[in-house]
């Protein structure tokens, strides 16, 4: 029996258009809510229909199966906006606010602490979930709290302090719990010279764009660094820079990036991830774990992330 779809909900939407890797099959149901109220209404609809749901932001850090995704997929990229308080350094940002946009706005307000984030192609919600980081900084350093909703009980929101999020390297408890991030509160250091903060922010962006393949579809860094080692250096030492499997290629610019050269499938990317993990384990006795999150059905090739 066909479901009665609420306003803004579409069926059979190609998710390749919503991921930075430009791969992935269709979502059974898909929506891009324009407000938190609309998001909550869609979650209530999904709960009433017994329909599984998941949330994506900018579509970075995601590998969506070629077979697509069952249930409801919600994209938060239109849930943008942030309130900055220059005197205290407090920022309240919606889940879909792009991290680079927020970093530049904070710099112009003389707020220091987000300079590292300017090159991350993600959203506030995704940064909180993944404890995104770069250039020696990370989300956990500046996050005060997140406001979330349980999709099984979407009539009530909750605020969780950062201290209760179990932050670790590219990890938070939000990765294991079925909670949807609606907004986040950050505290930056106020009172800095806007020009100086903006210069540092721009320098960080230049550092990333000059050393990473920003001109091709990718998810950003594929593997977590097995500190003190660097994943890219381990992969490069095996001579895998530039190695291709179908349309998926280990970037000749940075070995911790897998790029879509134009015709890659999610399956090819997944196989290339598994091949890298196998080679690094064999040659270096190190198990590489992924930063990227796999959504949907894949053959059991890659090591557990």
Per-residue pLDDT of the chain (305 residues; tens, 9 = 90+): 455 667 689 999 999 999 999 999 999 999 999 999 999 999 999 999 999 999 999 999 999 999 999 999 999 999 999 999 999 999 999 999 999 999 999 999 999 999 999 999 899 999 999 999 998 899 999 999 999 999 989 989 999 999 999 999 999 999 999 899 999 999 999 999 999 999 999 999 999 888 899 899 999 999 999 999 999 999 999 999 999 999 999 999 999 999 999 999 999 999 999 999 999 999 999 999 999 999 999 976 544 33
Among residues 94, 93, 187, 109, the alpha carbon closest in space to that of 144 is found at 187
How many Cβ atoms from other residues are within 10 Å of residue 247's Cβ? 16
**In terms of C-beta density within 10 A (0-12 exposed, 13-18 middle, 19 or more buried), how is residue 57 classed?**
buried
Q: What whole-number distance in Å separates Cα of residue 111 and Cα of residue 108?
A: 7
Q: Which of 77, 104, 170, 208 is catalytic?
A: 170
Annotation marks residue 202 as catalytic = no
The class that CATH gives domain 82-211 is: alpha beta
> Helical H runs in 151-260?
194-211, 231-237
pLDDT of res. 305: 39
Annotation marks residue 38 as catalytic = no
Contact 67, 297 (CB under 8 A): yes
Task: Provide the CA 5 distance to its chain's centre, in angstroms.
Answer: 28
User: Is the peptide bond preceding residue 228 cis, with omega within 30 degrees of 0?
Assistant: yes
Q: Which of 172, 183, 221, 265 is catalytic?
A: 221
What are the strands of the beta sheet with 90-94, ordered from one edge?
82-85, 90-94, 180-187, 143-149, 157-161
Domain 10-75 matching CATH 3.40.50.1000: the answer reads no
pLDDT of res. 302: 43
3-class DSSP state of 85: strand
Per-domain boundaries in the chain: 10-75, 82-211, 231-295
Contact 153, 141 (CB under 8 A): no
Annotation marks residue 221 as catalytic = yes
CA angle 21, 24, 28 (to 5 degrees): 140
The class that CATH gives domain 231-295 is: alpha beta
Residues in the chain: 305
Contact 136, 221 (CB under 8 A): no
Among residues 88, 85, 132, 77, the alpha carbon closest in space to that of 105 is found at 85
Among residues 129, 135, 145, 153, the alpha carbon closest in space to that of 293 is found at 129
- Provide the whole-model pTM: 0.91
pLDDT of res. 4: 63
Q: What whole-number distance in Å separates Cα of residue 270 and Cα of residue 286?
A: 19
Q: What whole-number distance in Å separates Cα of residue 20 and Cα of residue 124?
A: 16
Among residues 131, 6, 157, the alpha carbon closest in space to that of 74 is found at 6
Q: What whole-number distance in Å separates Cα of residue 6 and Cα of residue 199?
A: 46
């Amino acid at each position: 029996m066909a479901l009665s779809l609420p306003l803004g909900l579409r069926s059979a939407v190609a998710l390749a258009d919503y991921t930075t890797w430009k791969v992935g099959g269709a979502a059974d149901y898909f929506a891009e809510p324009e407000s938190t109220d609309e998001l909550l209404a869609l979650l209530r609809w999904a709960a009433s229909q017994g329909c599984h749901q998941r949330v994506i932001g900018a579509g970075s850090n995601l590998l969506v199966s070629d077979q697509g995704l069952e249930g409801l997929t919600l994209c938060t990229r239109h849930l943008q906006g942030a309130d900055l308080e220059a005197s205290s350094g407090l920022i309240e940002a919606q889940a879909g606010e792009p991290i680079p946009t927020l970093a530049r706005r904070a710099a112009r307000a003389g707020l220091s602490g987000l300079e590292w984030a300017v090159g991350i192609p993600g959203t506030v919600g995704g940064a909180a979930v993944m404890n995104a980081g770069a250039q020696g900084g990370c989300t956990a350093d500046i996050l005060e709290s997140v406001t979330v909703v349980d999709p099984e009980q979407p009539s009530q929101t909750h605020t969780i302090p950062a201290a209760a999020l179990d932050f670790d390297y590219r990890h938070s408890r939000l990765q294991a719990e079925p909670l949807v991030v609606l907004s986040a509160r950050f505290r930056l250091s106020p009172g800095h010279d806007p020009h100086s903060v903006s210069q540092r922010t721009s320098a960080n962006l230049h550092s990333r764009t000059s050393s990473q393949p920003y001109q091709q579809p990718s998810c950003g860094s594929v593997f977590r660094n097995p500190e003190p080692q660097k994943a890219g250096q381990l992969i490069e030492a095996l001579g895998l820079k530039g190695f291709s499997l179908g349309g998926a290629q280990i970037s000749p610019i940075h070995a911790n990036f897998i790029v879509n050269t134009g015709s890659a499938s999610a399956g090819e990317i997944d196989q290339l991830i598994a091949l890298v993990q196998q080679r690094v384990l064999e040659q270096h006795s190190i198990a590489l774990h992924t930063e990227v999150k796999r959504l949907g059905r894949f053959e059991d090739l890659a090591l557990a992330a």
